[in-house]
């Protein structure tokens, strides 16, 4: 089953079980975010990837330059371990991790969660790639991905028990639009997936195709 199929199944089975009032708030917020045009303003293919230096789940520091020194980079932004769609996407990336590294690429995932939450996620899914903490979403902002939750949606997430105030280190209102980038060794973004719909994620087969299409792979 493709990641797209898994995400669709989760949406069809889980979403209708949410309270109607919560669904209404979530749908309105989703429409507003899509209408804002933010996805189009985010970094796209052809742009230079903003550099970053972020802590891993175990307390080490990873920079984009260090990753690029070893090969092209697959960089994915996700909302957090509390998001079931994010969990499916990260699990799919782990399942294709060997295919990514076989192409000489490095894989890293970024969220606004504190390192302890990233460590729990890493252990839960046995992730073999770096899971980085972007507290305050400063790196996501450089990529044009960060946005602030509206009050009513923040209240819905609070009612779900997501504890964003704690897991995001006090930055409970700021999240990234889910996105995945393939960055060539010269720091140029060669392929981008950015979608304000948090139930949509980059398909691993598309990521692999983008890696195969890199100038350095020819």
pLDDT value of position 116:
80
* pLDDT (mean) for 95-121: 91
pLDDT value of position 218:
55
Residues 142-168: pLDDT tens digits? 999 999 999 999 999 999 999 999 999
Residues 59-76: pLDDT tens digits? 899 999 999 999 999 999
Residues 157-206: pLDDT tens digits? 999 999 999 999 988 889 999 999 999 999 999 999 999 999 999 999 99
pLDDT value of position 217:
62
Cα→Cα distances 115→24, 84, 130, 174, Å: 32, 19, 11, 17
14 has pLDDT over 70 = yes
pLDDT value of position 1:
82
131 has pLDDT over 60 = yes
Rounded to two decimals, what is the model's pTM?
A: 0.95
What whole-number distance in Å separates Cα of residue 207 and Cα of residue 96?
10
Mean residue pLDDT of the chain comes to 94
Please report, rounded to a whole number, the percentage of residues in the chain having pLDDT higher than 90. Answer: 87
Secondary structure class of 107 (helix, strand, coil): strand
**Alpha helices, DSSP H, located in 109-202:** 115-125, 138-142, 151-159, 164-167
212 backbone dihedrals φ, ψ, rounded to 5°: -65, -25
Q: Residue 82 in contact with residue 88, Cβ under 8 Å?
A: no
């Amino acid at each position: 089953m493709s990641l797209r199929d898994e995400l669709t199944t989760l949406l069809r089975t889980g979403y209708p079980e949410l309270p109607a009032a919560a669904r209404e708030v979530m749908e309105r917020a989703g429409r507003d975010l899509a209408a804002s045009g933010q996805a189009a303003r985010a970094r796209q293919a052809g742009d230079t990837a903003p550099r970053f230096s972020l802590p891993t789940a175990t307390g080490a520091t990873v920079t984009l330059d260090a990753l690029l020194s070893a090969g092209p980079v697959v960089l994915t932004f996700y909302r957090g371990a509390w998001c079931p769609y994010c969990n499916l996407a990260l699990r799919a990336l782990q399942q294709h991790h060997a295919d990514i590294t076989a192409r000489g690429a490095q894989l890293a995932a970024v969220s606004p969660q504190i390192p302890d939450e990233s460590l729990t996620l890493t252990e839960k899914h046995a992730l073999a790639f770096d899971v980085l903490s972007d507290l305050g979403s400063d790196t996501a902002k450089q990529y044009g991905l960060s946005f602030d939750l509206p009050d009513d949606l923040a209240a819905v997430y609070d009612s779900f028990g997501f504890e964003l105030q704690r897991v995001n280190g006090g930055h409970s209102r700021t999240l990234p639009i889910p996105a995945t980038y393939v960055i060539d060794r010269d720091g140029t973004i060669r392929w981008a997936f950015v979608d304000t719909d948090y139930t949509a994620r980059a398909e691993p087969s598309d990521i692999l195709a983008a890696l195969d299409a890199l100038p350095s792979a020819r």
